[in-house]
Amino acid sequence: MAKQGSRNLWQGVLCEWADVLDVTDASTVVTLGEGGTPLIESRVLSQVTDARVLVKFEGLNPTGSFKDRGMTVAVSRAVERGAKAIACASTGNTSASAAAYAAAAGIQAIVLVPEGRISMGKLAQSVVHGARIVQVRGNFDDCLEISKELAEQYPVHLVNSVNDDRIEGQKTAALEIVDVLGDAPDIHCIPVGNAGNITSYWRGYSLAETTGAATKRPRMLGFQAAGAAPIVRGERVLEPDTVATAIRIGNPASWQQALDARDESGGHIGAIDDREILKAQKLLASSTGVFVEPASAISVAGLLERHAAGEIPAGSTIALTVTGHGLKDAQWGLKLEDGSDAVPESADADTAQVAQLLGLA
């Protein structure tokens, strides 16, 4: 048994990575203990791809998604600058994170979401944390444009990933992977929605190489849902449509940065259809014990698609980011592969009957 008081409590991104986040004594740190998420080896994915596949489970951040890494920095900076309110556009995860960190900071969160296009789990988080929520009759891109105009014209601080503080905080996930592995992986698979996360990982890996913490940078493999794939198509998608609500974005704010990460790494950005996304969600949950929302499962589906295309060298070390917990969009976990509802079997309160039903008798 460890000696009492001998284990240090994780202090959150701004404290743990203060040396790369420009934290000063005057900084106002608003943290919920984000970061430090596990890197889990997937036995089945490793066997299927003949590689070493490790899953960075960002759903174990405080509000259930990777957004918390950037939000702690963005909200801390907002408070430091005297802001009394923050604003964001969101498909769900950003609003949940912004609402929680605003509550912790004692300031108001204003969140704009597309009407009828946000999961109840994510909306509930914004509600319970006390955010002022406006459902906009439009899509995410409309919400983001309005949020930017609000920040320009009124005393509110924008905390979407167009704010570089968000990218700075999110780069720490790449640094954690390097810290655990002792080097960068050969390949990194990641969902692409607004494209802030692929941008931040590339920044983190580039920093690790520059400082000598890593000897290389990985090939970045990003994946968009087929119904919301503007980067793949090379044009804005006016009505993005996919079960992967967190990446249902038609005009990514970090579009060019995503292309830079792809091109500089010799990587790839591809499109995956919803059926493959949902199959991958169930595969990861049933084989690795990691339950993620559909937008996260696209990393798994994308890896399998690239392997089938012969693009994954045997023996590679692959990091795979899953960005949000499955409880964020739990309805899809209740569906079978054919799309029907999962219905548990029933029995009387009788041991013999239960044993017979289970095939034990």
Tell whether 163 is in a known binding site.
no
Is 160 annotated as contributing to ligand binding? Answer: no
* 93 assigned binding-site residue: yes
16, 57, 82, 131, 329 from 9: Cα distances, Å? 10, 19, 29, 29, 30
197 known member of a binding site: yes
Distance (Å, whole) CA 250 – CA 299: 19
Q: Which residues contact 37 (CB under 8 A, 6 or more apart)?
A: 56, 57, 58, 60, 61, 173, 176
Q: Say if residues 257 and 195 touch (Cβ distance below 8 Å).
A: yes
Does 323 carry a binding-site annotation?
yes
195 annotated as belonging to a binding site for a ligand: yes
Are residues 117 and 89 in contact, defined by beta-carbon separation less than 8 angstroms?
Answer: no
Q: Tell me: is residue 61 an annotated ligand-binding position.
A: no
> What are the tokens at 288?
């690795």
Task: Put residue 47 in one of left, alpha, beta given phi > 0 → left and psi -120 to 50 → alpha.
Answer: alpha
User: How many other CB atoms sit within 10 Å of the CB of residue 255?
Assistant: 16
Return d(Cα 185, Cα 39) in angstroms, integer: 12
Binding-site annotation: residue ranges for pyridoxal 5'-phosphate: 93, 193-197, 323
Binding-site entries: 93, 193-197, 323
